[in-house]
Amino acid sequence: MASINLIEAFQDFKDAENIDRPTLMKVIEDVFKTLLRKKYGSDDNFDVIVNAEKGDLEIVRHRIIVEDSEVQDPLAEVPYTEAIKQEPDYEVGEELFEEIDLIDFGRRAILAAKQTLASRISDLKKNILAKKYDDRVGEIISAEVYQVWKKEVLLLDEEGNELILPKSEQIPQDYFKKGENIRAVVTRVDLKNNNPVIILSRTSEAFLAKLLEIEVPEIFDGLIIIKKIVREPGERAKVAVESYDDRIDPVGACVGMKGSRIHGIVRELKNENIDIINWTTNMQLLIQRSLTPAKISSMAVDHEKKHANIFLKPDQVSLAIGKRGVNIKLASELTGYELDVYRDNEEEDQEFDVDLEEFADEIDEWVIDALKNVGCDTARSVLRISAAELEKRADLEKETVEEIRRILQEELEKE
């Protein structure tokens, strides 16, 4: 057979090492079986044999030898007189194998087959790339900056695949130079003109979550779980964590000795302040922790409306709100409650309010702790809340609440 070498047609495949060999064989077989169907009307009696290493392809036709007068299906049967022209020893009932010369298909058909093959392999490479990064969504990858544009940065991974980091997914303080390696998280794979476009992000919560997982072994091992992350990229982030092991302090583990674990993440995020807080299902306590670094005097929470009024000393108000309102905005996102901040009247506090610890002789210590857990540190902060609401929040008996309110009210009236 005058075999036609197809090395050029296979070259695209050979360059794409991540395409497996059986897939290649199937693609080539499909392309040439299509060619056979166009020429012969069927491909049932043809075998396509491929040697991908050498770039060779052979097509073998097999038919049963029958008497000349008994040929019913020329595609499956061959007359005896025609068979013995190739080999005199053939007998009726044997199978005749013959190679089909690709030249017989014609130059145009072969060129069309090569183009189809190249197109199929190209589509295959695109699908493999899309599948690869679909499976890596949520993972951090390191890539090299190839081109910096106004609206996006083009990156190349270790295999030379193009990745996109849009301006909207960059930290405001980010500045990139061609050739440097940067880290980002894979967020999604878009299709543009049937081409996969891999989108990265440095502003998503997933990026911070993965950085914490890398730096904090307890998170990677599942001993500490990240319950929720909220971010204002480049400004501040709040991370609520919970430990499944009572012996592990989740906040201390995430921060590390003298901040050793968190410092690397802060540098990666361009000095973004990161508040690590203990997660709790106690909403008052969670709100109190979420407003760190501010210290709350008291609060009144409406669980139905998911709203809380926060009372703070004047010097704590600006800390609670934060620069450009970022702190209170993130606290609201973390808790899911709308938060309003109010300034406590210090003179009124000094004149009328009394710390709950002062009532230790009259109120049991466990009751005082229960009140503190719902954000009540002073007599006035307790009396601001209705008796029914206090029963519900602090999980106290009605009689206990009434007695507490009576004791506190009498003390304030005396003052």
Same domain, 56 and 121: yes
- pLDDT value, residue 10: 53
Task: Map tokens 């466990």 to a residue.
Answer: 366
Indicate if 41 and 150 belong to the same structural domain: no
Q: Which residues of 108-123 are buried (b: 16+ CB within 10 A; e: fewer)?
A: eebebbbebbbebbee
In this structure, the answer to whether residues 72 and 179 fall within a common structural domain is no
Question: If you compute the radius of gyration of the chain from its CA atoms, what whole number of angstroms results?
Answer: 37
- Kindly state whether residues 32 and 118 are assigned to the same domain: yes
109 — pLDDT class (breaks 50, 70, 90):
confident
Any domain includes 108 = yes
Give the end of a domain, one of 105, 132, 159.
132
Residues 100 and 180 in one domain: no
Question: Last residue of a domain, which of 132, 164, 194?
Answer: 132
- pLDDT tens digits, 146-156: 999 999 999 99
* 79 in a structural domain: yes
* DSSP letters spanning 266-295: HHHTTS-EEEEEE--S-HHHHHHHHTTTS-
- Regarding whether 123 and 15 lie in a shared domain, the answer is yes
Q: Are residues 49 and 124 in the same domain?
A: yes
289 falls within a domain? no
**Do 312 and 343 touch, CB atoms closer than 8 A?**
yes
Range of the domain at 57: 7-132
Pair (159, 80) in one structural domain: no
pLDDT > 70 in the chain, percent: 90
User: Locate tokens 């008497």: which residue?
Assistant: 67
pLDDT confidence of 186, banded at 50, 70, 90? very high
pLDDT of residue 15: 52
Phi, psi of 181 (to 5 degrees): -95, 135
Is residue 284 included in any domain, yes or no? Answer: no
pLDDT higher at 393 or 231: 231
The answer as to whether 298 is a domain residue is no
The span from the CA of 374 to the CA of 386, in Å, is: 13
| 409 located within any domain | yes
Residues 106 and 158 in one domain: no
CATH of residue 28's domain is 3.30.1480
Q: Let me know whether 163 and 120 are in one domain.
A: no
Q: Are residues 13 and 109 in the same domain?
A: yes
Q: Could you tell me if 56 and 103 lie in one domain?
A: yes
Q: Among 27-36, 173-182, 348-357, 382-391, which is the least confidently predicted range?
A: 348-357
148-160: string of b/e by CB count within 10 Å (b at 16+)? eeeebbbbebeee
Collapsing DSSP to helix, strand or coil, 200 comes out as strand
Single out the residue in 132, 154, 181 at which a domain terminates.
132
Question: How many domains is the chain built from?
Answer: 3
What pTM value is reported for the model?
0.65
Q: Which carries the bigger pLDDT value, residue 140 or residue 364?
A: 140
The single residue listed with the structure tokens 């902060």 is 381
CATH number at residue 150: 2.40.50
Where residue 403 sits, what CATH number does that domain have?
A: 1.10.150
Collect all residues with Cβ–Cβ distance below 8 Å to 183 and sequence separation of at least 6: 140, 141, 142, 202, 268
In a domain, 126, yes or no: yes
pLDDT at 128: 83
Percent residues over pLDDT 90 in the chain: 40
